[in-house]
Chain A
Amino acid sequence: MAPLTEMMMAGLVAAEDSHGGAIAFPILTMLVLVPIVGAVAVAISSKRRPEIAKLIALMTSVGVGAMSIWLLSSFEMGEAGFQFSSQHTWIEQWGISYHVGVDGISLFLVVLTGVLFPLAIVGIDPHHDEKPYLAWLLMLEAGVMGSFLSLDLFLFFIFFEIVLVPMYFLIGGWGYENRVYAATKFFLYTMFGSAFMLVGLIATAMLAREDLGRLTFDLVEIAEGANFAASTGRWLFFAFAIAFAVKVPIFPLHTWLPDAHTQAPTAGSVVLAGVMLKLGTYGFLRFGLYLFPEAAVWSRSLWLTLAVIGIIYGAIAATMQKDLKRLVAYSSVAHLGFIILGTFAFTSQAISGSVLQMVNHGVSTGALFLLVGMIYERRKTRQISELGGIQKVAPIFAAGFMIVMLSSIGVPGLNGFIGEYLILLGSFQTARWWTVVATAGVILAALYLLWAYQRVFHGEPDEDNAKFPELRVKEGLVLLPFIAAIVFTGVYPKPLLDRIEPSVDALVEHVVENSDFEHPDYGSQCGNFEADHEGEAAESHSDEPAEHDPADTNCAADKNGAHHDDDDEGEETGE
């Protein structure tokens, strides 16, 4: 037995080594590469046996999901910088390298992507041409993963742009009645934004060459080393911002979203809402704020205003919708408005809230689209007026819908609350009046979602709705992870925030250092708060820090304290 134990020990040690080293196994590259390989395997699998294609797709996506979970578990907490980085020269003449890495801002988006795809593949039946459908889905997964992991402007652009192709085919090939129009609109809108970004990113690299001494597209190198003149930086920032604003989408550029969402097949909507919209908000954080802090601060009123318009407009438009899927689509406009609000508040809390809310929105809206898809499967309609009384015949289905809907409204105890609360709390300190208006959006969200719920689920079912089948076991199993994530994050968000915070703090610090942004209460959390400094911000805050240790002089410790506070509240309401 002794040698065996020894061998096991040796094995463990070896495993630990690779664990600690993390360079040994290029996990991030695998996250991108495995879906591509899977897609190719699906594409060349036999046409006569579709179950093999399904099996390959499932195994691939589950494998990627498992890898993303492993990434989560071995992610160093408390580290602000990029982890698991790997960098290889790609196109030397143009200073382009394959550079990937993950930090607190991208970590949960990667995990969300990894988990959402297998659920979409298992839970949703495309009805026809399963093989290309699965291949496109896997290609999409690779593209989204790559976008979240890239740390090179060129590489990011490639992934950012390439996701259009699978999504175009998914909407166009498996969508509903108006699919070709919606798919084309989606493709052209996004490509229009990218057109500016491409010019912007080349200009960024070219202009940074003077400061860096060589041509490079490396994000970190440019962000840390380059020093753009204010006017130059603003132009460049806007070139990037247009692309992201279309993708988010921010208010006047949002018109592609309701069409794309409504016409996309269920899996397309789930992925679109779940992860693809986050490419825009993530882009703002990773590339907008990080590369051009001065310009971001300079133009913040614009973005805050558009965000607030989006919140209110999205909510009002959602209220008016007759189509359930379109309603959920417009609710996305409102929710993403909150994320943008938090992003341009430039406080650690607000941005942490934004990052968390990106994940939350992915989970809740993804689940909502899944449920709307199930309703469509059963009733072949999405018109709210044709539905009604479903709660009577399918109480479990209604309960599931209820939880997801409440999470989307932002009811305390569920995940949506944590994100929105943090955003509003953080934004109030630096963007007070915008936040005041935005808070109204929370009430409107309750209005349109509860009203929709009432019309669809309450009352007496008519003849058609009386035959509404109850939630099946398989559907329940697909829904379960969503609900688990909703409740877990709502009750105990600390593990998430602990990983998000350090990177966000570093980003906020970077913005403050490199711009003339005056943080009205940058010191307030550390106890040296001055009464005459932004009085109302103090009020909003004063009843909170009072509860925990006032002797805390360490800023970071205090922040953790503040979050414990949030946790407590979550738990209280959750019980």
Chain B
Amino acid sequence: MIADLVSQISTHEAPAQALLAQTFVGPEVNWFALSPMLTLLAGALGMMLVGSLTSTWPKGLYALVASVTAGTAGALAMVQWDDITDNGPTTLVGGAIAFDTLAMFLTITICIGVLLVSMLTDSFLRGTPNEGPEIYALYLVAAIGGIVMASANDLIVLFLGLETLSLALYVLAASNRRSLASAESGIKYFVLGGFASAFFLYGIALLYGAAGTTNITEMVTTFQSEVDLNNPNALALAGLALLIVGLGFKVAAAPFHVWTPDVYQGAPSPVTAFMASVGKAAAFAAMLRVLVTALPFFRDDWRPVIWVLAVLSLLVGSFLAVVQTDVKRMLAYSSVTHAGFLLVGVEAAGHTAGELDPGDGMSSVALYLMLYSVLVIGMIGVVTIVSRAAGNRDGDSSLDSFKGLAKRRPALALGFTVLLLAGAGVPVTSGFIAKFGVIQAAVEVESYALAVIAMVAAVVAAFMYLRIMVNMWLAPPEEGAIEADIAGTGILINLSSGLAIAASVVFTLFVGVFPSWLIDAAETVNVIAR
């Protein structure tokens, strides 16, 4: 990276300034192109600063500020999008950041995630010691980390993004100080996450040893010119293996998934939604950057590994989800299944990685990430509402607490049903479009076995979604539950969470029927900045 900066200086600056080469001259920065990240950063710092200087803000203002910040960042990303489609992709900050549609697509996804999760968090935090700017600031910071991961064009930058996201998530997972489960979840995530980060960093180091650079663009050139087919580059392969371990942990792919159920269950519900949406989107973006963009040369080496990870995730996730009795754990295992589906897309991308016509793998993964993020936030949003009513603030998210939800809150039950059906991949929902895209990408490169395994796993996973639906619609509510709802002590849907869930449901159905525009957008992510 340093070498890159130096070359940047020598090529871009006028010869007269070459004399100044001894003093550090920063690379040229197109500040406006970085505006989504900067907006989020300003929001986070602003909230912390102003929040610490003022007394408690009026109801809902914290969430509103966070939402508006995320919304603005998302809107700015859309503006950048137009710039990219007009002028083609490029790199920023001396080749450290990629400025392409993949980055922007995921930036928008992450911003939507932050926006919806902030809306869910509002009512969750109301009246707790955590009510304040901190949680929201952490969301925004984590989002920056995620965006950096999604748009990194240098493995060190990618690692910075990963750590920014992870550190924020560790704190968020443990943020419910009154709950033991939350503390446990935070510690577990921290220890295992730290371990995974170490793997990841060591992988980068080995790759640096093999390629002599951490910059993705230079790495591709190096491997292209110096590859020796008869003498496989052991250093690079070892680095690749370690990177896959680190990434596998972050995306919660089996067999690196074991932290997922505990952390998802123990973390405060909105944080779970955040991890499942933003966390997953960022991790998969990083995976695409590392494997498909940086190491297409080793695609025949990493593709079988991804194949195995995909199959394991699909089977482990779907079969273990079925036997759970806690809805949050179910959704955790189902997120492993979804990771499996996403890996099917990554595997498909692996067949054509680095070629001029990159196929549909990348775009199907990007599309899946956006659709799944919105979906999962809606799902966990419902769980948040129901579990809070059923038990204490930690929430009782057991399957039983959903009994008779259709009788107690029909609209909520109907919305949840739509989201669950989408999760199962039933047509006319976004979930079907997402699955269809991934399966289509796999079939296109003739990965038939993987496509069939994925679809069969989806059937098993559907059983889990059906179990929740059975409890909602076909089981009678517990005694006194309906009276409690009427009296206002049962399930309470406040405005902002209701809006977030409704938005998720409407988006799910709308994209299910009219997916064209989104597919159009997702297809452009194949063109990557180099």
Interface residues of A (CB under 8 A from B): 90-94, 157-159, 161-162, 164-165, 168-169, 172-173, 179-180, 184, 187-188, 191-192, 195-196, 198-199, 202-203, 206
Contact = CB atoms under 8 A, between A and B. Distances in A.
A168 B443 CA distance: 30
Given A94-B519, A206-B443, A172 B470 contact: yes
Given A91-B519, A169-B473, A202 B440 contact: yes
The 9 A-B pairs with the shortest beta carbon distances in the complex, nearest first, are A195-B455, A158-B427, A202-B443, A199-B451, A191-B459, A192-B459, A93-B519, A203-B443, A161-B427
A311 to B, nearest CB: 29
B439 interface: yes
20 contacts: A91-B515, A91-B516, A91-B519, A93-B519, A94-B440, A157-B427, A158-B428, A162-B427, A164-B426, A168-B466, A172-B473, A172-B474, A173-B473, A173-B474, A191-B458, A196-B452, A199-B455, A202-B436, A206-B440, A206-B444
B473 A161 contact: no
Contacts of A173: 473-474
Given A93-B523, A173-B474, A199-B451, 16 more contacts: A91-B516, A92-B516, A93-B516, A94-B436, A158-B428, A159-B427, A161-B426, A161-B427, A164-B426, A173-B473, A188-B462, A191-B459, A192-B459, A196-B455, A198-B436, A202-B436
A187 B462 contact: yes
Contact of A93 (B427, B470, B520): B520
Contacts of A161: 426-427
Contacts of B443: 199, 202-203, 206
B470 A184 contact: yes
A198 B520 CA distance: 22
B376 interface: no
Contacts of B456: 192, 195
Contacts of B515: 91
Interface in B410-464: 421, 426-428, 432, 436, 439-440, 443-444, 448, 451-452, 455-456, 458-459, 462-463
A445 B393 CA distance: 62
A162 B452 CA distance: 20
B505 to A, nearest CB: 14
Contacts of A157: 427
Contacts of A188: 459, 462-463, 466
B454 to A, nearest CB: 8
Contacts of A159: 427
A44 to B, nearest CB: 11
Interface majority SS on B: helix, strand, loop or mixed?
Answer: helix
In the complex, which of the residues A159, A162, A169, A199 has the most CB atoms of chain B within 10 Å of its own CB atom?
A199
* Residue from the set A159, A168, A187 with the largest chain B CB neighbour count within 10 Å: A187
Interface in B377-428: 421, 426-428
Nearest to A187: B466
Interface in B46-99: none
A558 to B, nearest CB: 45
Given A184-B466, A206-B443, A165 B473 contact: no
A199 B441 CA distance: 11
Contacts of A202: 436, 439-440, 443, 451
B521 to A, nearest CB: 10
Contacts of B444: 206
A187 B520 CA distance: 33
Contacts of A199: 439, 443, 448, 451-452, 455
A169 B427 CA distance: 16
Contacts of A191: 458-459, 462
B474 A180 contact: yes
Contacts of B421: 165
A94 B443 CA distance: 13
Contacts of B428: 158, 162
A326 to B, nearest CB: 22
Interface string B491-517: 000000000000000000000000110
Contacts of A195: 452, 455-456, 458-459
A36 to B, nearest CB: 10
Contacts of A206: 440, 443-444
Contacts of A93: 516, 519-520, 523
Contacts of B452: 195-196, 199
A515 to B, nearest CB: 24
A92 B462 CA distance: 29
B318 to A, nearest CB: 12
Contacts of A187: 462, 466
A422 B482 CA distance: 59
Contacts of A172: 470, 473-474
Contacts of A179: 474
Q: Which of B427, B440, B473 has most chain A Cβ within 10 Å?
A: B427
Nearest to B421: A165
Contacts of A90: 516
A405 B440 CA distance: 47
Nearest to A162: B427
A367 B459 CA distance: 33
Contacts of B523: 93
B492 to A, nearest CB: 21
A199 B456 CA distance: 10
A229 to B, nearest CB: 14
Nearest to B463: A188
A193 to B, nearest CB: 9
Contacts of A158: 427-428, 432
B519 A184 contact: no
A180 to B, nearest CB: 6
A205 to B, nearest CB: 8
A492 to B, nearest CB: 40
A198 B439 contact: yes
A179 B436 CA distance: 31
Nearest to B470: A180
A75 to B, nearest CB: 29
A192 B456 CA distance: 6
B456 to A, nearest CB: 5
A216 to B, nearest CB: 13
A162 B422 CA distance: 11
A91 B523 CA distance: 13
A356 to B, nearest CB: 31
B409 to A, nearest CB: 14
A91 B448 CA distance: 23
Contacts of B451: 199, 202
A319 to B, nearest CB: 33
Contacts of B520: 93
Contacts of B466: 168, 184, 187-188
B71 to A, nearest CB: 28
Nearest to A203: B443
Contacts of B427: 157-159, 161-162
Interface string B465-481: 01000100110000000
Nearest to A43: B414
Nearest to A197: B455
A427 B456 CA distance: 35
The winner among A94, A159, A168 for most chain B CB atoms within 10 A is: A94
Interface string B101-114: 00000000000000
A172 B473 CA distance: 9
Chain B CB within 10 Å, residue with most, of A180, A191, A196, A206: A191
B463 A184 contact: yes
A288 to B, nearest CB: 19
From A172, A196, A203, residue with most partner B Cβ within 10 Å: A203
A187 B443 CA distance: 25
Nearest to B424: A191
Contacts of B448: 199, 203
A198 B470 contact: no
Interface string B239-279: 00000000000000000000000000000000000000000
